[in-house]
């Protein structure tokens, strides 16, 4: 019989810097589901890759004096290396610079143009270079910055092609509200209320201000907008409109797209509309998960709070890292990462609960029976609850894994692990071992424990694929005894099973010592080198610098703004009539700390309204990395209004 198909995708990652632990979440979660579906007997296609075009990459490469391709190649290799280290079992890896992908993108663009869904116009608006996202004025945050990453945006005016997504507002709203495509459901409201209801504006889908992209085949000075280019990977990698593969009819539509929440917008609105325009079948599920945060902020390269997953995997093993990131990410919400959280999780769940259960059980079978259980048994009512829980586990976790409720699934598996540890305390095998007459009872207890371990480890395999085969070796389980179809039944190991003592699965970590060592290793990811590179790429002449008028001033009054938590309203004595400056520094300073201090401000910045208050300038502050901002205070003796230059 032909196998059922399952197609799952991660987003394709920007190779603009090395991968961090935040990138690992989606890939590991998809890997777990892909492995689980393979266990269930599905013919799985698991796709990941890299999204290599765009202005940001072009700029970085230019700064280093290399071509964009030369810039991305080693980073792409690093992503691939990381996936190897993390035990990722992707079937395919797509690069948007691959020829077949470029062909698909060009063909899709032309098809949409020929169908009248793409037209030429003029783009004016705001553009966030790091996010490669266009925004309208009204979408910017309270500081006039990118609503996603909160960095400054630039003005963009250029001839451009537009995708008529406005025509699809009703259709897309209906699709999102009437199907179960987008999960969790709360994200549907977010999409409808924030993007569809306010009016879906046509999307600018080409750029002329840089060249590192897929050229529009019929108008080569334009390159295709990086998001249209990127989204097409999900079908180019199957061979849609190219000759590299022939899997489109086999695997499309995707069963599961998974992304973090910030790009759900593209996957639930833009991607679906493009597919509707192309008359292609629509994917079945999009799970938008939360972020791994570090100190309360999204972990990302540019913020400089990156934890190196290579280091973590080397120190604890990739399975421990996989387990922690999946266990601590609640369904649909954010999770917080810290070295303490990771180590505590490894020690409590993996070393104490699971590792101990396996090693104690195997050690007792070895000690009391020389490794091979005798066949006589002695049942006790005490066994019932454990047997029942272990037998039901597969049915409990299957829908959870299929819906990407991975933390919940692990929680359920570990409930059974805990129950088994409690069962050891209740049955006291060490007492049974002292009495010859209790041997059948002792054999029953150990068999029940081995069976529980068999079921739990079978279901844990997709989460921790390197360690579970070691568990099977220790408990004497043959491959056919840990297949999905026998994990719902208790009693599959032979009665006279033989165990083999083995290595400690998850060594306990000395938390204090480890934290010190890890903190010392924390990578300030935005390296000075990179900053310098960007500076070199954005050189200005002295005339340009002279246009910026910097002056000193004294803060004479300061207050919080009720409607904007991040902002403070400062009254500044500028040696003239005085001015009001609104600044986003409320997180780092109280008004009391600022009054009486002298600062430097940009004196000739066009005034603008921030949350209803006019700001007549900008004060200078240093970004010290790791979310720390320090205002530049100057000497008390400098008169207010002194020019700086």
In the complex, the residues that contact ligand MSP under the rule CB under 6 A are 11-14, 22-23, 25-26, 51, 230-231, 233, 259-260, 263, 291-292, 298-300
Task: Show Cβ contacts of residue 62 under 8 Å, excluding neighbours closer than 6 positions.
Answer: 537
CA torsion angle for 256, 308, 327, 503 (degrees, to 10)?
110
Least distance to ligand MSP, CB of residue 337, Å: 8
Residue 24's H or E segment, with its range, is helix 21-39
Q: Are 59 and 68 in contact (CB under 8 A)?
A: no
Rounded CA gap, 590 and 568, in Å? Answer: 9
Least distance to ligand MSP, CB of residue 533, Å: 19
DSSP annotation of 160 reads E
Least distance to ligand MSP, CB of residue 55, Å: 13
Rounded CA gap, 529 and 376, in Å? Answer: 69
Least distance to ligand MSP, CB of residue 276, Å: 17
Least distance to ligand MSP, CB of residue 303, Å: 10
Tokens matching residue 113: 């143009």
Instruction: Give the N- to C-terminal CA distance of the chain in Å, as an integer.
Output: 78
Least distance to ligand MSP, CB of residue 40, Å: 24
**Of residues 326 and 603, the one with the C-beta less far from ligand MSP:** 326
Least distance to ligand MSP, CB of residue 11, Å: 3
Least distance to ligand MSP, CB of residue 223, Å: 16
Which residue number places its CB atom closest to ligand MSP? 22
**Of residues 30 and 459, the one with the C-beta less far from ligand MSP:** 30
Rounded CA gap, 403 and 332, in Å? Answer: 11
Residue whose entry in the numeric block shows the structure tokens 């095998």: 429
Q: Are 196 and 237 in contact (CB under 8 A)?
A: no
Least distance to ligand MSP, CB of residue 230, Å: 4
Tokens matching residue 582: 């609104």
**Of residues 17 and 355, the one with the C-beta less far from ligand MSP:** 17
Least distance to ligand MSP, CB of residue 301, Å: 9
Rg (CA), the chain: 29
Task: Show Cβ contacts of residue 7 under 8 Å, excluding neighbours closer than 6 positions.
Answer: 44, 45, 47, 238, 251, 252, 253, 254, 255, 256
Residue 1: Cβ-neighbour burial (10 angstroms; 0-12, 13-18, 19+): exposed
Pairing of strands 335-337, 292-294: parallel
Cα angle 96, 102, 108 (rounded to 5 degrees) comes to 115
Rounded CA gap, 394 and 571, in Å? Answer: 64
Least distance to ligand MSP, CB of residue 586, Å: 24
Least distance to ligand MSP, CB of residue 312, Å: 14
**Of residues 254 and 416, the one with the C-beta less far from ligand MSP:** 254
**Of residues 23 and 492, the one with the C-beta less far from ligand MSP:** 23
**Of residues 98 and 554, the one with the C-beta less far from ligand MSP:** 98
Q: Are 118 and 162 in contact (CB under 8 A)?
A: yes
**Of residues 230 and 397, the one with the C-beta less far from ligand MSP:** 230
**Of residues 229 and 319, the one with the C-beta less far from ligand MSP:** 229
**Of residues 51 and 451, the one with the C-beta less far from ligand MSP:** 51
Least distance to ligand MSP, CB of residue 481, Å: 36
**Helix, strand, coil in percent for the chain, rounding step 5:** 45, 20, 35
Rounded CA gap, 16 and 212, in Å? Answer: 13
Rounded CA gap, 286 and 91, in Å? Answer: 20
Cα angle 606, 56, 16 (rounded to 5 degrees) comes to 135
Q: Are 585 and 593 in contact (CB under 8 A)?
A: no
**Of residues 12 and 350, the one with the C-beta less far from ligand MSP:** 12
**Of residues 134 and 490, the one with the C-beta less far from ligand MSP:** 134
Residue 71's H or E segment, with its range, is helix 68-85
CA-wise closest residue to 406 among 308, 354, 471, 332: 332
**Of residues 16 and 359, the one with the C-beta less far from ligand MSP:** 16
**Of residues 323 and 490, the one with the C-beta less far from ligand MSP:** 323
Task: Show Cβ contacts of residue 545 under 8 Å, excluding neighbours closer than 6 positions.
Answer: none
């Amino acid at each position: 019989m032909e196998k059922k198909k399952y197609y799952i995708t991660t987003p394709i990652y920007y190779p603009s810097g090395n991968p961090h632990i935040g990138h690992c979440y989606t890939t590991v979660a998809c890997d777990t589901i892909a492995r689980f579906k393979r266990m269930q007997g599905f013919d799985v296609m698991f796709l990941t890759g890299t999204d290599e075009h765009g202005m940001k990459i072009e700029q970085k490469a230019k700064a280093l004096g290399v071509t964009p391709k030369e810039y991305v190649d080693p980073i792409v290799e690093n992503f691939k290396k990381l996936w190897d280290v993390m035990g990722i079992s992707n079937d395919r890896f797509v690069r948007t610079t691959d020829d077949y992908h470029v062909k698909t993108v060009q063909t899709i663009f032309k098809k949409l143009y020929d169908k009248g869904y793409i037209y030429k116009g003029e783009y004016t608006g705001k553009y966030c270079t790091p996010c490669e996202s266009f925004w309208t004025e009204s979408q910017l945050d309270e500081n006039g910055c990118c609503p996603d990453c909160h960095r400054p945006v630039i003005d963009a005016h250029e001839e451009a092609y537009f995708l008529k997504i406005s025509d699809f507002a009703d259709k897309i709203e209906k699709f999102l509200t009437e199907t179960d495509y987008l999960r969790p459901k709360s994200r549907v409201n977010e999409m409808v209320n924030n993007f569809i209801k306010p009016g879906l504006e046509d999307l600018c889908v080409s750029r002329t201000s840089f060249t590192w992209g897929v050229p529009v085949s019929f108008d080569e000075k334009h390159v295709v907008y990086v998001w249209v280019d990127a989204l097409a990977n999900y079908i180019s990698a199957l061979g849609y409109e190219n000759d590299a593969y022939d899997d489109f009819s086999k695997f499309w539509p995707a069963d599961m797209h998974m992304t973090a929440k910030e790009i759900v917008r593209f996957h639930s609105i833009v991607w679906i509309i493009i597919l509707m325009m192309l008359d292609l079948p629509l994917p079945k599920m999009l799970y938008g998960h939360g972020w791994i945060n570090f100190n309360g902020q999204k972990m990302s390269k540019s913020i400089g709070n990156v934890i190196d997953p290579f280091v973590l995997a080397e120190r604890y093993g990739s399975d421990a890292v996989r387990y922690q990131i999946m266990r601590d990410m609640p369904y649909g919400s954010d999770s917080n990462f810290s070295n303490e959280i990771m180590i505590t999780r490894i020690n409590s769940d993996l070393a104490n609960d699971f590792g101990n259960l396996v090693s104690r059980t195997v050690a007792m079978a070895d000690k009391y029976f020389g490794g091979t259980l005798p066949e006589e048994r002695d049942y006790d009512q005490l066994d019932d609850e454990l047997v029942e829980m272990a037998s039901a586990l597969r049915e409990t976790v299957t829908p959870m894994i299929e819906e990407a409720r991975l933390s919940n699934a692990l929680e359920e598996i570990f409930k059974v692990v805990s129950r088994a540890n409690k069962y050891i305390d209740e049955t006291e095998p060490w007492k049974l071992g002292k009495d010859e007459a209790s041997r059948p009872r002792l054999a029953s207890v150990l068999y029940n424990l081995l069976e529980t371990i068999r079921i739990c480890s079978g279901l844990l395999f997709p989460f921790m694929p390197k360690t579970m085969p070691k568990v099977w070796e220790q408990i004497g389980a043959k491959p056919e005894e840990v297949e999905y179809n026998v994990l719902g039944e208790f009693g599959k190991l032979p009665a006279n099973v033989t165990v083999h003592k083995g290595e400690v699965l998850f060594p306990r970590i000395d938390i204090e010592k480890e934290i010190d060592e890890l903190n010392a290793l924390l990578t300030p990811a935005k390296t000075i080198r990179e900053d310098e590179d960007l500076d070199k790429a954005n050189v200005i002449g002295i005339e340009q610098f002279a246009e910026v008028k910097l002056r000193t001033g004294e803060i004479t009054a300061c207050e919080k703004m009720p409607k904007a938590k991040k902002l403070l309203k400062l009254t500044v004595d500028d040696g003239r009539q005085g001015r009001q400056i609104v600044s986003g520094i409320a997180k780092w300073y109280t008004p009391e700390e600022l009054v009486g201090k002298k600062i430097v401000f940009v004196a000739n910045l066009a005034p603008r309204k921030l949350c209803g208050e006019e700001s007549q300038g900008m004060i200078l502050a240093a970004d010290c990395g790791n979310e720390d901002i320090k205002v530049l205070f100057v000497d008390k003796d400098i008169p207010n209004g002194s020019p700086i230059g």
